Amino acid sequence: MRHFLKETDFSYDEACEVFNLARELKADRYNTPSFLNRQSWGLLFYKSSTRTRVSFEVGINEMRGFPVVLNSQNTQIGRGESVEDTAKVLSRFLHGIIIRTFAHSIVESFASEGSIPVVNALTDFLHPCQIYSDFFTLIERWSPTDSFGPECLKGRKIAFLGDTACNMANSLILGSALFGVELALAGPDGFEPGKEIQGLVKAEGLNPTFNFSNDAHAAVKDADMVYTDVWVSMGMEDEAAQRIELMQPYCVTSDIMSAAKKDALFMHCLPAHPGQEVSEEVLKSPQSIVFDQAENRLHAQKAILGKLARLNLQR
């Protein structure tokens, strides 16, 4: 059974096919192939959601499937039923499941204990659907007219500022290694990339393409794109005051953006907190493509589900 728990669950060539499929689906949204014809797909949320829920629910409908939305607190999981038992039970009802949760081990357990494809819609460790959507958004901008695909990402520089140990930074580290992107990370000491993500890059047979420093301006220098994320993720509210104080030097301001290339883009996976991780001026500037990112969650995730459906049909 093929799953999508991390960026490298698709090979480079398979990822190319996903990006090209996303392009096709976006160009002709109202004639989407029936990849999930009459299939019921679960959407299991341990965390609240806007973009993830709506994009997946709409996408499954457009592929002629039936989304079944589940909140962990309104299921027996909330009363202590094990992940293992839940995975086995839901596998008897559903054709696939998409999970937004805390520990990465939860999606791994669903994949190992169940008998249906599992898609990671976010864990505290990785956010692969977001990264595929983001890279698809960049490929749209940077691909030559005669050659659409991730080749245009090779050698490009992305700067990520703030909490460089978060799931978005981890996914950028793994995705950048897969697609040959130079990744410059900048944040305070204590928030640098952890051993787990560094070990995963090596375990996947990839060469790390990132570096970490405390210098935001140096990280952004000559960057093609500047990225940031919230400083206080769900479940970290008790650390909010300390995190906000430590990360003030890494707020993406117009001054920070001026160190990047003149045509540099700004990205944020949203929701944003203007005045914290990014200034309102940058967030609303012509360089900001945050709403293109948000829209492309729909098209990229449809392509991911469509690719999984094809791969698992071939088994």
pLDDT, position 175? 98
Q: Do 200 and 76 belong together in one domain?
A: no
Cα(181)–Cα(236) distance, integer angstroms: 30
Residue 309's pLDDT is 95
130 belongs to the catalytic site: yes
Judge if 176 and 89 occupy the same domain. Answer: no
Say what the pLDDT of residue 120 is: 98
pTM for the model stands at: 0.97
Catalytic hit among 3, 23, 124, 130: 130
Kindly provide the residue ranges of all beta strands, DSSP E only, lying in 166-257, ordered along the sequence.
182-186, 210-213, 225-228
28 an active-site residue? no
Q: Could you say which DSSP state residue 123 is in?
A: -
169, containing H or E segment? helix 167-179
- Closest alpha carbon to 104 in 122, 128, 84, 130: 122
Amino acid identity at 211: N
Q: Check: CB of residue 224 under 8 Å from CB of residue 187.
A: no
The pair of structure tokens assigned to 77 is: 């999981």
Reported as a single tens digit per residue, the pLDDT across 193-209 is: 999 999 999 999 999 99
pLDDT at 85: 97
Residues 76 and 135 in one domain: no
9 and 195 in contact (C-beta within 8 Å)?
Answer: no
DSSP state of 127: -
- pLDDT by residue (tens digit) across 277-298? 999 999 999 999 999 999 999 9
Q: How many residues does the chain have?
A: 315
Question: What is the pLDDT, as a whole number, of residue 250?
Answer: 98
Catalytic residue chosen out of the listed positions 3, 104, 268, 297: 297
Low-confidence ranges of the chain (pLDDT < 70): 315
Q: Residue 233: what pLDDT?
A: 79
Domain count, the chain: 2
Say which CATH number the domain at 30 has. Answer: 3.40.50.1370
Q: Are residues 58 and 141 in the same domain?
A: no
149 and 188 part of one domain: yes
- Name the active-site residue from 3, 269, 276, 287: 269
DSSP element (H, E) containing 267: strand 265-268
* pLDDT at residue 268 in the model: 98
- Asked whether residue 258 falls in the same domain as residue 204, the answer is yes
- The pLDDT assigned to 235 comes to 75
Which of these, 84, 174, 58, 169, lies nearest to 124 by C-alpha position?
169
1 inside domain: no
> Is the same domain home to 55 and 186?
no
Does 144 share its domain with 11?
no
Whether 100 sits among the annotated catalytic residues: the reply is yes
- Catalytic residue, from 23, 104, 127, 268: name it: 127
Look up the domain containing 282 and give its range: 130-289
Q: How far apart are CA 80 and CA 83, in angstroms?
A: 9
Assigned domain for 178 exists: yes
Helix axis angle, 290-313 relative to 12-27, nearest 10°? 120
In a domain, 308, yes or no: yes
Residue 229 a catalytic site member? yes
Same domain, 252 and 281: yes
Describe the crossing of helices 12-27 and 167-179 by its angle, rounded to 10 degrees: 110
Co-location of 88 and 142 in the same domain: no
Is the domain of 300 the same as that of 273? Answer: no
Spatial separation of the C-alpha atoms in residues 132 and 153, rounded to whole Å: 12
- Cis upstream peptide for 271 (omega within 30°): yes
Q: Is 129 a catalytic residue?
A: no
Answer yes or no: do 42 and 155 share one domain. Answer: no
Among the listed residues 3, 100, 104, 299, the single catalytic one is: 100
Whether 2 maps to a domain, the answer reads: no
248 is catalytic: no
